[in-house]
Structure 1
């Protein structure tokens, strides 16, 4: 189910208690929000409590969500704020730069062999190339390419400038194109030929 479908069903279900819809929302967002939250709070149990609370609040307030333009971004911001509130409540001052949050791994980019007509082996090589990116670069790349957040949204979420986002995406794309050139020379040469025509 696409995010826009989930959002529409969520907003329209405020008078119903649709267990299957809540389950879909939970399965879609819970894993990523846990991993993202662990960038701020290292204890998984605390992250689980925070994310469950966010999803329950989302469900309880689903009738008043019409102002949300991007549900995924809204949930990431909610997770970030909840984590920072938790740290503040425990008198843990974030003495380190926000850079420390880039230790988290947002998980692999999902690639469907049926959709892309490439082999499992090649998907694994792509995953390896993505996982080898520096943490900050990888987090930004996945938030933009996998979660389809806009540059401005990622900049706000991670508290960095759009220029930094652009620079990190340039680094990611260069590193990945080098990896792909080595692994898939025929694909890269076809791409360059198309651009030059």
Structure 2
């Protein structure tokens, strides 16, 4: 799905109160926004409520959508702000983070040993990403998982593009260092470790 489709939905919602276009927009962004929101509130049910509320408000303000230049960034910023408001409102509650490894099932029917090695590597990558500092982890996932550009991430998180670049570099260096230690002494070249890190979440 490209930006032209999003712009078309935005126009139809704004000009024609098009419920079908709104449904398309909702389905396209819902899962990504939930995943992004959980990084803040750590509770799936709360994330679902927040994202749903953002879409309800978007529909109620559909007459103003022609003023939004980048609807994708707009939605992520709205979810981030609602998440921060939620945390402020319920800061007295103890929130237990949910563990979602998201480990891919990488299979190699020819070489079982290498298959297990790939799984171990992917599991280690998930661990490293989850251990990153909060802002660094959010930036990494927005770029590598959600496909945002540096400037868009900077807009969403209200930080400078330079900070985005620096934090992403730190994340990639942490991944490469962690994988290098994991496979020290094994028959895997460092460039392959870098390639795996760069392709993570793609």
Task: Please state which band the TM-score falls in when normalised by the shorter chain.
Answer: 0.5 to 0.7
Distance 2:53 2:5 in 1: 22
**Counterparts in 2 of 1:35-50, with a 5 A limit?**
35-50=35-50
Q: Does the CA contact (< 8 Å) of 2:68 and 2:74 recur in 1?
A: yes
Shift of residue 74, structure 1, vs aligned partner: 0.8
CA 1:168–1:92 in structure 2 vs 1: closer, same or farther (change >3 Å)? same
**Structure-2-length-normalised TM-score:** 0.60
Distance 1:4 1:71 in 2: 11
The alignment yields a C-alpha RMSD, in angstroms, of 4.2
**Structure-1-length-normalised TM-score:** 0.61
Shift of residue 34, structure 1, vs aligned partner: 2.0
* Uncovered stretches (5+) of structure 2, i.e. residues with no partner: 105-114, 196-202
Distance 1:106 1:160 in 2: 27
What is the aligned residue count? 171
**Counterpart of 2:68?**
68
Q: Does the CA contact (< 8 Å) of 2:42 and 2:98 recur in 1?
A: no
Q: What do residues 157-188 of structure 1 show as CA deviations (whole Å, max 9, x unaligned)?
A: 335554432222112333556659x7975975
Distance 1:104 1:158 in 2: 22
CA 1:187–1:43 in structure 2 vs 1: closer, same or farther (change >3 Å)? closer
Q: Does the CA contact (< 8 Å) of 1:68 and 1:74 recur in 2?
A: yes
Distance 1:143 1:53 in 2: 21
Distance 1:86 1:147 in 2: 23
* Uncovered stretches (5+) of structure 1, i.e. residues with no partner: 94-102, 111-119, 192-197
